[in-house]
Amino acid sequence: MNIAGGRFVITGGASLIGSHVADRLLAEGAREVVLLDNFALGTPQAVAHLDGDARVRLVRGDILRINELYDAFAGADGVFAVAGFLTLPLSQNPPLGLAVNVEGQVNTFEACRYAGVNKVVFSSSIAAYGEPGDGLIDESAPANLASYQPGSMLYSCTKLIGEALCKLYSAKHGVDAVALRYATVYGERQHYRGVNALHIIQSYDRIMRGEPPVLPGDGSEVHDYIHVADVARANVMAMASEVTGEVFNVVTGVETTVKRIAEIVLAITGSDLQPEYADDANAVKATSSPSLKLSREKIARMLGWEPELSVEEGIRRLIDWRKTCAD
């Protein structure tokens, strides 16, 4: 599919990922980008930088109201299904979170089928794997959810359902679809709802108050931190490709401890504070493994995507943006 000259809709468009997907689409010459959001979790401020661009329409809409999707998707070439509850808000409001993540995605695919949309790119998560096992984790790895916290398990299941919808609508209804399993996404326009990405922004906020960052356990917990610009590029490359019915890891393949994250933030801010270590028994967690080896071979082979930003450069960009918010 050609991105240049195309019309695209992003559900959850006023979000961290949605806003960066919009940036990428516009940079590649999209004719129109519709940002559909009900502003329950997204904010107009996330896309305020797009004000005045005649190619952008910000539409208040809800994926639980399928009639609003019919209207928004009319004439669209592709839909980026970004809207959804993350682990933390889903844990706090399971009835609404499950409705959005399951019924809302069914509505999205049905509306795409009705409107003749060519392709959907669905925002999934590496949470679909559950607790990681030993060795390299690729897209063929089974889900290991037995030891997950209940809220995290529910979130993982909703992502597996979304991936199944991609395959079903591609095979049965002619709606091409690709699911992207994101690692821990962070970056400019960062929110406070991503369970694992919270370490970055909370550490920065504490340091700016003259308080040391607080880390869980001994700081050896690892995550695969991926900058939102790399995620947005993967979304647009998936849309542009002829691939359908596939699931891809969108990961760096680099393990980074939460202690290393704190060290990066301390170095960028020039602080001599030392991290403190304390566990919060009430904290909502996804994975807290000391090892997380995620493969990006499939997406490199089939889409040609590779991450471009190191975690050090990505966090520097995030902090530069956060400074502008405080000015």
Is residue 290 over pLDDT 90?
no
Q: What is the mean pLDDT of residues 180-206?
A: 84
Q: What is the mean pLDDT of residues 231-252?
A: 98
Amino acid at 34: V
280: pLDDT strictly greater than 70: no
Q: How many domains does the chain have?
A: 1
274 domain residue, yes or no: no
Q: Quick check: helix, strand or coil at residue 281?
A: coil
At residue 281, does pLDDT exceed 80? no
**pLDDT attached to residue 196:** 64
**CB–CB of 81/185 below 8 Å?**
no
Domain that holds residue 19: 7-187+227-251+296-308
Average pLDDT over every residue of 217-245: 95
* Burial of 142: CB neighbours in 10 Å, binned 0-12, 13-18, 19+: exposed
In a domain? residue 179: yes
Reading the block at residue 126, the tokens are 């590496």
How does residue 325 score in pLDDT terms, banded at 50, 70 and 90? confident
Task: Give the model confidence (pLDDT) of 59-102 as tens digits.
Answer: 999 999 999 999 999 999 999 999 999 888 899 999 999 999 99
Domain contains 31: yes
**pTM for the predicted model, two decimal places:** 0.94
Whole-number Å distance between alpha carbons of 127 and 155: 8
Q: What is the reported pLDDT for 190?
A: 83
In a domain, 260, yes or no: no
The pLDDT of residue 256 is above 60: yes
Alpha-carbon span 303 to 301, nearest angstrom: 6
User: Residue 35's beta-bridge partner residues?
Assistant: 10, 58
Q: Measuring CA to CA, which residue among 186, 278, 180, 275 is closest to residue 225?
A: 186
Confirm whether 192 is domain-assigned: no
> Is 64 within the bounds of a domain?
yes
Encoded tokens for 246: 């596939």
Q: How many C-beta neighbours within 10 Å does residue 6 have?
A: 20
- Per-residue model confidence (pLDDT) at position 53: 95
- At residue 324, the pLDDT reads 84
Distance CA 263, CA 273 (A): 10
CATH number at residue 62: 3.40.50.720
Packing angle between helix 311-326 and helix 258-269, nearest 10 degrees? 50
The C-alpha angle with vertex 97 and arms to 94 and 101, in degrees rounded to 5, equals 135
pLDDT in tens, 9-45: 999 999 999 999 999 999 999 999 999 999 988 888 8
75 occurs within a structural domain: yes
Is residue 287's pLDDT more than 90?
no
162 contacts: CB under 8 Å, gap ≥ 6: 81, 84, 101, 105, 122, 124, 179
The answer to which of 40-49, 57-66, 252-261, 303-312 has the lowest mean pLDDT is 40-49
Q: What mean pLDDT, rounded, does the chain reach?
A: 92
